[in-house]
Every structure is written in C-alpha cells, then in structure tokens.
Amino acid sequence: MSPKALDYESINENVKKVAYAVRGELYLRASELQKEGKKIIFTNVGNPHALGQKPLTFPRQVVALCQAPFLLDDPNVGLIFPADAIARAKHYLSMTMGGLGAYSDSRGLPGIRKEVAEFIERRDGYPSDPELIYLTDGASKGVMQILNTIIRGEMDGILVPVPQYPLYSAAISLFGGSLVPYYLEETANWGLDINNVRQSVAQARSRGITVRAMVIINPGNPTGQCLSEANLKELLRFCFQENLVLLGDEVYQQNIYQDERPFLSARKVLMDMGPPMSKEVQLVSFHTVSKGYWGECGQRGGYFEMTNIPPRTVDEIYKVASVSLSPNVPGQIFIQYNSFFYCCTFYASILLLILGSPDIPYSSCYVRPRNILSVFSVRTDGQPAKARRHLISEVRYREVRMAEIQFLKGILGSLRRRAQIMTDGFNSCRNVVCNFTEGAMYSFPQVRLPPKAIEVAKKAGKIPDVLYCLKLLEATGISTVPGSGFGQKEGVFHLRTTILPAEEDMPAIMASFKKFNDEFMEQYEDHRGYSRM
C-alpha cells in the first residue's frame, strides 16, 4: 500500500527541517521529570508570569469587564471596579462589533491601531499611519507572515544574526528559504561588525542565493546586547546600499538594564537620517505585550508596522491576513496598553523630579498606572502638559509614590539586579564566561567544555552543549536551552537561561548551578585550564 498523505514519509519536507530548541529535547525531558515529581525551574523560555511576575491590575480589570460586559449593567459594579477601568472598558467595547467574542477587522480593531500609531509617534517623534499597522497574535505571527511574503523559494536568503532566536531559522525552513548567518562578536559584548555582514552576503551570492532581507533583534535574544544609534545607522545604510528589507525585532524595547545605550527604534533612526534613505529603505518593525513590564505571554498580543512598503504589497499582506479572519481581540486590547504604559513611564520620570526619590521598599502590590496619569493635565493631542505641583494633593500620596517605584524601581529595577546576579554567578564558575545582559530577558554564558566531555557527548550521539544541559537538568532541575539551538561558532558552546526567576530565589539557583558545573568540570577536565574562544 502506498503511503498516506500524513504518514511521516510523505509529509512536507520543510516541516521536517523545522527545529525549535526552546521547546525541544531539553523542555520535553524537563516535562517528563516534572511529571515524576521533580521540581523544575523552567528558565528555557521568556515566560515572566510562569516564574512569578505579577500581572498589572488595571489592564486586567478593563479586559475582565470587556469579557463580561453584563457586569457594566450591575448597579454595584463601581464597588468592585474603579471608574476609569469602567470607562476604558466601555471605550473598547464601543470599538467592537459585538464585543470581544466577535471577529475584528483582519488588521485589528481600527481604534486600537490608531492608539498604537499614537504610541509610535510619541516614542519616535514622527507620525505613524494606522493603516500600516497590523495587530497579530503575538509578534511571532507577524514575523512569520512577513517572512512568508518575502521568501519565494530556496534561493532567497534572509540575513539573521547568530546566535539567533530560533523562530527565524524555523520559519525560514518552513517557508523553503535559506538562512544567511552573520555572526555577532562575543568578545566585543556580542557586537556587530558590518564587514562580517558584507562577507556573509558575498558568500551567499557566490552560491547563487539572492539576499532579500536582514533581521535585527534589538535588544538581542539570546545575547542581550543593545544596538547603539551608530550601529543602527550603519545597518540602515547597508540595507539601503544592498536593497534589503530590514526586519526589526524590537519586542524587548522596554527591557533595558544599562544607561549607556537606551533603546532606539530602527524607525526613529531611519526617519532621523532623512531622504533619500527615509523614503527608500523598506522596514517592518515588530512588538508585543509578552515582554517589557507586561510579560503577558499568554494573551498573544502583538503588532507589526510597515514603513516604505508599496501599497500593492500592503494589499497582498492584507489578503493573506484576512485568511485567518481576525487576530484575537482580547490580545488587541493588551497591545494598546503597551502604548499606555510607555506614556506612564514618561510621566513617572517627571514625577520623580517633583516628588524626589522615594524611600519606600519595593512592594509586590499590583499598581494601577492611572494614578500617575491623574497627576497631570493632558492636552487633547495626547502630549503631557506642564506638570503642576498643586495637583499632587488630589491623588493619594502613597499611591503615586508606589506607582513610581513599580515602574522605575520595581519590575525593571529587579530585572536589572537579577541580570547582574546571574552574570556574576556565571563568571564565578569554573570554565564559564558571560557578558552582562544589557537588555532583553536572557543570559547566554559560554561554557568551555573539556575535550573528554565533548568526546563522551559524541559517543552518546549528542551535541556537547545538549549533553551538558541535560546533565544540569537532571542534577538541579534547572531547564535551559543549549546554545546550539541558537547557532554558535564551531567549537564554542553556550546555554541560554532567562533572568526571570524571582530575585530572592536567584542566589540559590546560581549556587546550585555553580555546584553542578564545578563538579562536572572536575569529572571531565584535565586541569590544564582553557582560554576563552
């Protein structure tokens, strides 16, 4: 009998080529161990709420009312929900055609897209067109939709930074294209050398590959580096010269843990550069609610914005989006709050100047950002008007101060400290070196595996860093991702872990890692030591 359509031998070969290490062998083994009763710390994926980050109250209140609009008719609703949450829920419900259970426009609700455009304009200082913003089920869906639009066949290449987030390698394989790697320099804090990029393009072209697009991940995943303005200008000039689409993965733009290189969007830098580049370079930028202050991974809210994309191409992208009818509607409301919180943090920074530095310990309470906004009068164009000291008396003093801490010294402050604890912890370990996590949610230490360990891994049919991570999991319950799942230079080995475990748990986690690692090295190394690669 001939094979059936869904027998393994006859399915699409591109599906077989897809690999996604974040939910691969290590994750599956961790899940098995968890079922057997072993305590597992899942640091393999950037999933903040799963590791204890608390959701922010205000957007949850608004979405709760939108999900159950009959509550708005209850005479006691004001005893449970604050007035501004009620008003916001009514505002969003008025945008829908039948509430959250009804399909929206295939691009997302027009009112939400307008508010996202306003956020982008506040962030970058340049107008944004809501018609060129598509809301998606997380940023990943948008990335896949655009890659599917660009890739025509196996001779179409996409420049991707290595180490890279395996969404890109997986999607390029699925759509039948070719990944063209450009390597980041670990010894330069994962910096980018444009000459390496040029060499990658030249090598790809020598094999007959047409390089059509370039991916940047800023801040980097898994490497955590932040691109400077000079880096971005260099990349944009390169895309202009080589006629490449730039795909800007900017989902970690709120996760910055150093002050030297604040986040700058590729779009802002492009607009600052002016014509002809600002009118010619094709750019697609991606963002999400899964990261930043939010960590709302399960809500699946995201968007992409298109710059300098021809109208006929936009029409084709809309046509494909319409096949899925609608992005999920609750996630659309959450993506709007991403812009709301950007506004809040701007206002909170002004509040610090007004109130001074608060001397209150960090609290895990759920903070409602409305309390910051209520301190200010706001012009109808959405820009903050002059802050007035006398308005502070209209808001409970402690609420305002706690809001400051939540935004400026709370979530991101704790993440910054956790990044430092993890970096220092890795660098205290034998044969482990790690750059500081400047941004995003991950640490990516290099593990200098002894030759004996590499030989044992080969005999077991394992990639060496996979074997190391499996032994780490079995010994400690720490579930990581081997660096080979992200790409790395030949003979160099890494692992990726999130910096998301609770701050109070981090010292114990790093002590557990150090104990395992040092025992592993004692077992396998010849005590002559190794130099950093």
Show the domains of the chain with their CATH numbers: 8-50+412-532 (3.90.1150.10), 57-100 (1.10.287), 102-337 (3.40.640.10), 343-405 (no CATH)
140-154, 162-176, 361-375: least confident range = 361-375
Q: In this structure, how many other beta carbons lie within 10 angstroms of the beta carbon of residue 69?
A: 15
Report the pLDDT value the prediction gives residue 508, as an integer from 0 to 100.
94
Report the pLDDT value the prediction gives residue 130, as an integer from 0 to 100.
96
pTM (predicted TM-score): 0.85
Report the pLDDT value the prediction gives residue 48, as an integer from 0 to 100.
81
Report the pLDDT value the prediction gives residue 294, as an integer from 0 to 100.
77
Which tokens belong to 499? 């910096």
Report the pLDDT value the prediction gives residue 389, as an integer from 0 to 100.
33
The yes-or-no verdict on residue 442 having pLDDT over 70 is yes
Report the pLDDT value the prediction gives residue 295, as an integer from 0 to 100.
79
In the block, tokens 């943090």 appear at 345
Query: pLDDT digit string (tens) for 192-233?
Result: 889 999 999 999 999 999 999 999 999 999 999 999 999 999
Query: pLDDT digit string (tens) for 281-290?
Result: 999 999 998 8
For residue 532, what pLDDT band results from cuts at 50, 70 and 90?
very low
For residue 356, what pLDDT band results from cuts at 50, 70 and 90?
very low
Would you say 500 and 51 are in contact if contact means Cβ atoms under 8 Å apart?
A: yes
How does DSSP classify residue 161?
A: E
Report the pLDDT value the prediction gives residue 339, as an integer from 0 to 100.
57
Would you say 432 and 448 are in contact if contact means Cβ atoms under 8 Å apart?
A: yes
Q: How far apart, in whole angstroms, are the C-alpha atoms of residue 441 and residue 449?
A: 25
13-27, 319-333, 346-360: least confident range = 346-360
Using alpha carbons, list the distances in angstroms from residue 292 to 206, 412, 473: 41, 8, 27
Mean pLDDT rounded to a whole number for the chain: 84
Average of pLDDT values for 24-39?
A: 90
| % the chain with pLDDT above 70 | 85
Average of pLDDT values for 256-277?
A: 94
The yes-or-no verdict on residue 49 having pLDDT over 50 is yes
Query: pLDDT digit string (tens) for 320-342?
Result: 999 999 999 888 888 876 555 55
Report the pLDDT value the prediction gives residue 340, as an integer from 0 to 100.
52
Q: How far apart, in whole angstroms, are the C-alpha atoms of residue 516 and residue 533?
A: 22
Q: How far apart, in whole angstroms, are the C-alpha atoms of residue 412 and residue 420?
A: 12
Report the pLDDT value the prediction gives residue 403, as an integer from 0 to 100.
59
For residue 399, what pLDDT band results from cuts at 50, 70 and 90?
low
Average of pLDDT values for 380-391?
A: 36
For residue 57, what pLDDT band results from cuts at 50, 70 and 90?
confident
Tell me how many helices (H) and strands (E) the chain has: 20, 14
CA-derived radius of gyration, the chain:
24
Report the pLDDT value the prediction gives residue 33, as an integer from 0 to 100.
92
The residue among 53 and 309 whose pLDDT is bigger is 309
For residue 393, what pLDDT band results from cuts at 50, 70 and 90?
very low
The residue among 356 and 187 whose pLDDT is bigger is 187
Report the pLDDT value the prediction gives residue 467, as an integer from 0 to 100.
94
The yes-or-no verdict on residue 528 having pLDDT over 60 is no
Report the pLDDT value the prediction gives residue 290, as an integer from 0 to 100.
86
For residue 349, what pLDDT band results from cuts at 50, 70 and 90?
very low
For residue 73, what pLDDT band results from cuts at 50, 70 and 90?
very high
How does DSSP classify residue 212?
A: E
In the block, tokens 């880096």 appear at 231
Report the pLDDT value the prediction gives residue 182, as an integer from 0 to 100.
95
How does DSSP classify residue 44?
A: S
* Phi–psi pair at 427, nearest 5 degrees: -70, -15
The yes-or-no verdict on residue 25 having pLDDT over 90 is no
Query: pLDDT digit string (tens) for 152-163?
Result: 999 999 999 999
Using alpha carbons, list the distances in angstroms from residue 212 to 150, 159, 203, 277: 7, 8, 14, 17
Report the pLDDT value the prediction gives residue 527, as an integer from 0 to 100.
59
What are the residues facing 285 on neighbouring strands? Answer: 248, 305
| % the chain with pLDDT above 90 | 62
The closest alpha carbon to 211, from 245, 237, 234, belongs to 245
